[in-house]
Amino acid sequence: MSVKKPIKLAVIGRGLIGAAAARHLSKMGHEVALIGPGEPADFSSHDGVFGSHYDEGRITRTYDPQAFWRQMNRAAIARYGEIAAESGVAFYREAGALHVGHRETTDVASVGEVCADEAICCEAYQDAGLAERFPFLKSTAGMLGYFEPRDAGYISPRRLVRAQTIAAERAGARIIDEAALGISETASGVTIRTRSGNVEAERVLVAAGGHTQSLLGRSLGFTVYARTAALFRLDAAEVRRLTGMPSMRCLGPKGDNPYILPPIPYPDGRTWLKLGGDPVDLPLEGEADIKDWFRSGGSIDVADHLQAQILDRIRDLKFEERRVVPCMTTFGDTGLPCIGRLSERVTVAFCCYGKSAKCSDELGRLGGLALLGEVRAELAP
């Protein structure tokens, strides 16, 4: 499959940011190829690339302690309906988002302050009022919670990628269902190697998540960390009992600050409650580490810790089965994503601190603009 005529623009990475970038660039009228494989059927035997969007639940909300991420969230959430309409794929449920912790925790108080300053719709509850509003909570004494009822809840990252891919293709993008094995840049273009042959492009956006630096063949100074999520299968009665449960961010010291998703139907036909929040960071030093991590199935020790966390927070929780799921996130030093040109022909969009799912459409848009040569002031540290 050697493509003779160079494609104008190629996006490597058919994940949340790459698929979003392809949709935006295609809608602008550009010739675009979106390159990347689908979800592997079996992690344990897969020898290709992995992604962190193989899931049905990611928290979405407007609030973030950093102004940049609030801006990204607002812009992306405002386009959820547009993406769903263009693709015919629903991926968002407005279940609300609860930020909760001990009253004296600085992080909790700052939620209310920022929401007031930024006109983010937010309701405050504490102690008995918190228990009355959210009766599934196990303990609310001394606790304070801020609840975002609108433009908040959860998305299915798996379905969002599907929606962006469909919308991009309908707008004219070409989908190449292959993993990029490497790229090489010349004065006239970029060659992208795949198992089926080379793809030639004039310019390339690399949005390959934790695989980005290894694909480029050099470090850009960012660290990929292993993450583990735990899913708990609920029966019909427990799902009914937890009806109305929002997404939750439990604020506190590292290891005591899980995020919790409400019961969500999964493709296996069952309903699972999910949480994450690794107590210790485990760096993945390169491509071999990443593949070994995903094939391992995640950390049982972290899953045990998460199980204790959920039982400590959800009153009388009963579950039928536990599932352990590996994931990865990329971190830098600035708190901002890495979106910008590396050269005249190669641009990157990655490193999102575990925050990108909900706002990936805006991050993809900015990545597309960077590929076209537009420098965005909001990305300056």
Do strands 97-102 and 92-93 pair parallel, antiparallel, or not at all (unpaired)?
unpaired
- Confidence class for position 255, pLDDT limits 50, 70, 90: very high
What are the residues whose beta carbons fall under 8 Å from the beta carbon of 232, sequence distance 6 or more?
272, 273, 274, 307, 310, 317, 319, 321, 322, 323
Confidence bin at 378 (pLDDT 50/70/90): confident
- pLDDT of 144 > 70? The answer is yes
The predicted structure's pLDDT at residue 28: 97
Given this model, what pLDDT does residue 375 score?
76
Predicted confidence at residue 5, as pLDDT, reads 72
Considering the chain, what is the average pLDDT of its residues?
95
Q: With a threshold of 0.85, does the pTM exceed it?
A: yes
Of 10, 14, 55, the closest CA to residue 209 belongs to 14
225-245 residue pLDDT tens: 999 999 999 999 999 999 999
Asked if 32 contacts 10 with a C-beta cutoff of 8 angstroms, the reply is yes
**Do the Cβ atoms of 95 and 262 come closer than 8 Å?**
yes
The pLDDT, as a whole number, for residue 106 is 87
What would the pLDDT profile of 277-287 be if each residue is shown by its tens digit?
Answer: 999 999 999 99
Domains of the chain listed by start with CATH number: 7-57+157-219+336-379 (3.50.50.60), 95-155+222-331 (3.30.9.10)
Bin 210: left if φ > 0, else alpha if -120 < ψ < 50, else beta.
alpha
